[in-house]
Amino acid sequence: MIQTGPKKDEDLIREITEYEGAYVPLDKDRLVLFAVNYLEERAIEPTFDKIVVATFRLFPKKFSLIGFPEYPDGRTIYYCAYNHCTLGKKLLVGNVQSAFKVTERGKYFLDETKKMLEGKIQLVRHYQVSPRRKETTFLALLKKTIAYKKYVKGEKGKVHKSEILQALRIPPNSKSLVPTRLAKYTEYALRINETSVLEFLKFAQSELEADANA
Amino acid sequence: MPKERKREKGEVHEKFWERTVREAFKNDPLRIAIELIKNAADSYTRLEKRGSAKPPFEIIVKLYCRKRKQPSITVLDNAEGMDSKKLKEALKYGTQTSMGEDTEAVTSAEKGIGLKDAMMALKNNWLITVKDDLLNERNKHLNFDTGIGKEDEPISKQERKNLGIKSNGTVVMGVFPDFLRERRFSTICEHLQQHFLMRKLLENPKYKIFVIDGYTNDKMHLKYNPPKTEEQILDELFEIDYNRRKHNIHLSIYKSVEELPQGKPYGKSGLLFYYGDYTVVDFTFCRLERNLSFSKCFGEVKMEVEALIRDPTEAPLVDEKRRGLDSEHPFNKILFDEINQRLKELEEKEEASRYSLDNATKKEVLRELNKIYKEIKGTGLFEPPIMPMTFAFYPVYVSIKEFEPKTISLVINSTIVNDEFEISLQTTNPDIVIKMPKKISIQEKPREKFLVKHIELYSEKAGAKGEIIASRWPYTLESEKMGVEVLVNPIFSPENDFAFVPDTTSIVDGGKKNVELCIEKNLIKQYRRIDLSSSYPVICPGEWLLPETKEKLQKYVVKNIVRVELPIQVKETGHIGDKAIIEAKYKDKISNLKVTVVSEPSIAGLFRDIRPSAKTTERICSFIQDEGILEIYYKHPLIKKYMVKNFRRCQSFLVFIADTITREVLRAFVETGVKENSSKFPIFDMNRPESEIEDHVVREYYEKGPKFHELFIYLAKTFKIGKED
């Protein structure tokens, strides 16, 4: 067999198209494991950069950067491949300098992952799509606030002004922060397409404006 | 003593004042002295607020005490002093001069009685005051006439020296009325120190109040020593909305280490109501005075009522006779209600704290209950983490330790289950054993969408690898596999053939546990003694003797190792974070175990606590599901009747109590199980599950009842009633 040069591998990887099955509910570790095996099956050495691009091309919805869907999230892929799959779960062996390989143990999880991707096994829990960055972190915190919970329950009338300020992380005597905080949260919500949060922010704005006019 | 030069007629009838003065002071004549001391303190406060004086402020009280004579008193301050105009105003009926510690107040919260009354209560009274080098002397007669001595006369050096007034100041003197029973100097001092009206003033470091024995010149600095505090049981700031104004109330309640005397004026158990820095208006427990639950409690209520006091249209907060806060005043009504509500909550807690269960037994019972609940409901996953189309192992790969069984799950989709459904289980490596079950059979079609079946794996061969295959062969070709690897168990390779495995451990503060010492079998010859030593706070036996015969020793042998379980424990509590070492020595072999004392993890599970409760209900016990607490109501008539001394010997009563708790606990089991969709409690009609729940409770009662009876009788025996032992 003729040795496939780096260029050949790159071309092959560039040709990868998005996986057609329902991959969004799966956890990212499994998807990286799948991508490493995908490369191995095609006789492409799973070096880190190849894993990053292959994973991104196969599963773009799970491994793109917030606000930049055309770029891969190398940091997340690194954590999945090395910290989780290699050091933690021992599904892979290797490191960034040595490239990666699926272990005996990993093969069982790989089979299970394939079944999940084929729909033979479904997961009870659906895993997060967006990477854990500032946007997701603070919107997740906002979703845990009393004001947001009351709003989602349909108890708009019961939401106090102080609870809205608390949700937006505005200290009680710093009303001047309201416009900038609202703008920031709206920007984050738009970026990761959190429609329910956007609606809440509109509600919060109207409530705070009504209060200021009163 | 000054000379009266002229007299001014009083504005009201003398009988009125006689009655008022007597009413005000007859029950507590020391208030005359306190009134004068407080007036002096107020005068200093006003000076300080104007920036004209700095603390400490001295108030001198001189007492002339004789066995058969009424004591006389002189109160001296070097504060504002008064000119003739202000003095006249101060001693006039219905005056509204600025009084009290609040300079903005038109009058104090205690309208009606003040300087005039205190003076009139003293026989042969005189008020001598110096302001801007001018001396004024006045007295008050019982008919409210005012006697006038010197009026706006320049004061001489000698007069200043005699009075003890350096610049401006006031001296009030007189003889106590006959209703003051105290005659001794020390008794009066003691009572002044203990009097509730003096407490905040004596606690305030700005004021130094000295009492001097006029005959011996003995000097005593009055101080108030609050009761020794065990803990603060309440510290709350709340608002009272009154007349569209919000008044902050700061309520603090403490528990003392011993029972305290109650009641005014010298009692210590009660709440001290005050405003400003030291103006005390009452000492009460708001209608709960004689409640034994508060016999160890004391505290204070700081009222921000200055706005109310400044309002001249507002009625005084203190009742006319100055006994305390006027309970009819609408503000006080709200205040008492708010405080009562908090006291009631405390009462329940406080009362319950006198009834208790033995903590160790309670925890033992709670753990056992949670264990049984898990057993009844099923230990598996409530909801399988995976939903296979047919069936699948979870997890799909497992590492087990040699000689240690491990449970894995097989999740089955119930849509594939038909009559006589069966899955066979096989291992590809005979060194890896499926302990139970060998096959999975399901007779009836399950109600749940997914079934979770547990499979126990075991191996004695480290390094073995294999697969477990689940198949429906010969019915279908469907099969699922999972990988298994057997890891070396560290207990079989003890360091130096004699070691604690693992060599570090943690232990709960005040708790006990067993640790494992592993010894290579061939190392044990004739010598049977293992020497043990430990460092504080962990203790262990001083030695451990291995069985004498080989046969007896065989019981402890696993593979090549003798496993010895050694008990260790933490001496008492309060050692969280402490580290200790246990040293084991056998012949020339030594092994150390590092022990860290940790806090006790909270009890997890359905039942988190069992507590006696003071609630008055028709039930003997109740399970509060939201909190996971089983409450036992000791105010129930039957508990009150039978749970008396020696109730532990009354078997029939213990059985009755245990049975009642058993039924409540089993009901909680079933209701929670149904709520959590446990397959152990199938419900046919989900819209009306009550009767079916009852059936489940009865079934469980027959199965688990006797075991629970034993458990709860054991617990009931540790119930401590009130002051018992």
* Model pLDDT for residues A5-39, shown as the tens digit of each residue: 556 888 999 999 999 988 999 999 999 999 999 99
Tokens of B314: 């507002």
Please name every residue paired with B269 in a beta bridge, in sequence order, or none if there are none: B262
Selection from B461, B450, B465 nearest residue B409 by Cα = B450
Q: Measured between CB atoms, does B386 come within 8 Å of chain A?
A: yes
B610 sits in the region (left: phi over 0; alpha: psi -120 to 50; else beta) called beta
CB pairs under 8 A between A and B: 39
Q: Measured between CB atoms, does B384 come within 8 Å of chain A?
A: yes
Residue B350: predicted pLDDT? 66
Exposure on the CB side of residue B74, measured as CA atoms within 13 A: 18
Q: What's the mean pLDDT when you consider all of chain A?
A: 89
Of B221, B239, B268, the last residue of a domain is B221
What is the average per-residue pLDDT within A157-170? 87
A112 contacts on B by Cβ (under 8 Å): 392, 396
- For the complex shown, is ipTM > 0.90? no
Q: Structural domain boundaries of chain A?
A: 6-118, 134-213
Cα gap B649→B632, rounded to integer Å: 20
Q: Domain of B217: which CATH number?
A: 3.30.565.10
Q: How far is B442 from chain A (nearest CA, A)?
A: 21
Mutation choice for B interface testing from A26, A108, A120, A123 by most B CBs within 10 A: A108
Whether A111 sits inside 8 A of B384 (CB atoms) is no
User: Which pTM does this prediction carry?
Assistant: 0.48
Cα gap B114→B100, rounded to integer Å: 10
Q: Measured between CB atoms, does A121 come within 8 Å of chain B?
A: yes
Q: Measured between CB atoms, does B405 come within 8 Å of chain A?
A: no
Cα gap A77→A32, rounded to integer Å: 7
Give the one of A105, A108, A124 whose C-beta lies nearest to B384's C-beta: A124
Q: How far is B468 from chain A (nearest CA, A)?
A: 12
Place of tokens 């305030």: B204
Q: Measured between CB atoms, does A92 come within 8 Å of chain B?
A: no
Q: Measured between CB atoms, does B397 come within 8 Å of chain A?
A: yes
Selection from B142, B146, B107, B144 nearest residue B8 by Cα = B146
Q: Which of residues 455-484 of B touch A (CB under 8 A)?
A: 465, 481-483
Residues B590 and B508 placed together within one structural domain of the fold:
yes
Minimal-distance CA residue of chain A relative to B391: A121
Whether A122 sits inside 8 A of B386 (CB atoms) is yes
Within a domain: residue B511?
yes
Residues B400 and B337 placed together within one structural domain of the fold:
no
Whether B392 sits inside 8 A of A115 (CB atoms) is yes
Cα gap B220→B438, rounded to integer Å: 91
Residues B274 and B205 placed together within one structural domain of the fold:
no
> Does B395 sit behind a cis peptide bond, omega within 30 degrees of 0 on the bond before it?
yes
Minimal-distance CA residue of chain A relative to B383: A124
Within a domain: residue B711?
yes
Cα gap A94→B192, rounded to integer Å: 84
Cα gap B66→B60, rounded to integer Å: 20
Residue B100: predicted pLDDT? 54
Please name every residue paired with B399 in a beta bridge, in sequence order, or none if there are none: B485
What is the average per-residue pLDDT within A60-75? 92
Q: Domain of B307: which CATH number?
A: 3.30.230
**Contact between B631 and B622 (Cβ < 8 Å):** yes
Whether A111 sits inside 8 A of B385 (CB atoms) is no
List the CATH code of the domain at A6-118. Answer: 1.10.10
Residues B438 and B538 placed together within one structural domain of the fold:
no
Whether B392 sits inside 8 A of A121 (CB atoms) is yes
Give the one of B392, B397, B465 whose C-beta lies nearest to A109's C-beta: B397
Residue A131: predicted pLDDT? 81
Within a domain: residue B364?
no
> Which residues, given as ranges, of chain B have pLDDT below 70?
10-14, 16-18, 93-113, 287, 289-292, 320-322, 349-354, 378-384, 473-475, 602, 679, 721-725
Residues in chain B: 725
Please report, as a single letter, which amino acid is at residue B160. R
Mutation choice for A interface testing from B381, B382, B386 by most A CBs within 10 A: B386
Query: Computed over its alpha carbons, how large is the radius of gyration of chain B?
Result: 40
Residue B68, classed as helix, strand or coil, is coil
Residues B461 and B500 placed together within one structural domain of the fold:
no
Whether A121 sits inside 8 A of B389 (CB atoms) is yes
Q: How far is A121 from chain B (nearest CA, A)?
A: 4
**Contact between B103 and B308 (Cβ < 8 Å):** no
Q: How far is A79 from chain B (nearest CA, A)?
A: 22
Q: How far is B171 from chain A (nearest CA, A)?
A: 51
Within a domain: residue B375?
no
Selection from B96, B160, B94, B176 nearest residue B128 by Cα = B160
Cα gap B558→A63, rounded to integer Å: 50
Residue B351: predicted pLDDT? 66
Q: How far is B396 from chain A (nearest CA, A)?
A: 6
Give the one of A104, A108, A121 whose C-beta lies nearest to B482's C-beta: A108
**Contact between B611 and B622 (Cβ < 8 Å):** no
Q: How far is CA B278 from CA B203, B252, B633, in A?
A: 9, 16, 42
Within a domain: residue B385?
no
Q: pLDDT per residue over A186-207, tens digit each?
A: 999 998 888 999 999 999 999 8
Residues B194 and B49 placed together within one structural domain of the fold:
yes
Residues B530 and B542 placed together within one structural domain of the fold:
yes
Exposure on the CB side of residue B598, measured as CA atoms within 13 A: 11
Whether A121 sits inside 8 A of B483 (CB atoms) is no
Minimal-distance CA residue of chain B relative to A91: B397
Strands B629-633 and B621-624, bridge-based pairing? antiparallel
Please report, as a single letter, which amino acid is at residue B503. D
Residue B532: predicted pLDDT? 92
Whether B483 sits inside 8 A of A125 (CB atoms) is no
Give the one of B383, B388, B397 whose C-beta lies nearest to A108's C-beta: B397
Its domain, for residue B217, covers 6-221
Number of domain units in chain B:
5
Within a domain: residue B372?
no
Minimal-distance CA residue of chain A relative to B468: A108
Give the one of B383, B386, B483 whose C-beta lies nearest to A121's C-beta: B386
CB atoms within 10 A of CB B88: 17
pLDDT at A65 over 50: yes
Within a domain: residue B132?
yes
Selection from B21, B29, B35, B24 nearest residue B142 by Cα = B21
- Work out the pLDDT band at A113, boundaries 50, 70, 90: very high
Strand order in the sheet with B479-487: B397-401, B479-487, B465-471, B421-427, B439-442
Cα gap B114→B96, rounded to integer Å: 11
Within a domain: residue B98?
yes
Mutation choice for B interface testing from A90, A92, A107, A112 by most B CBs within 10 A: A112
Where does B23-122 show beta strands of DSSP type E?
Answer: 57-66, 69-77
Q: Measured between CB atoms, does A22 come within 8 Å of chain B?
A: no
Tokens of B614: 């003071």
Of B533, B567, B598, the last residue of a domain is B598
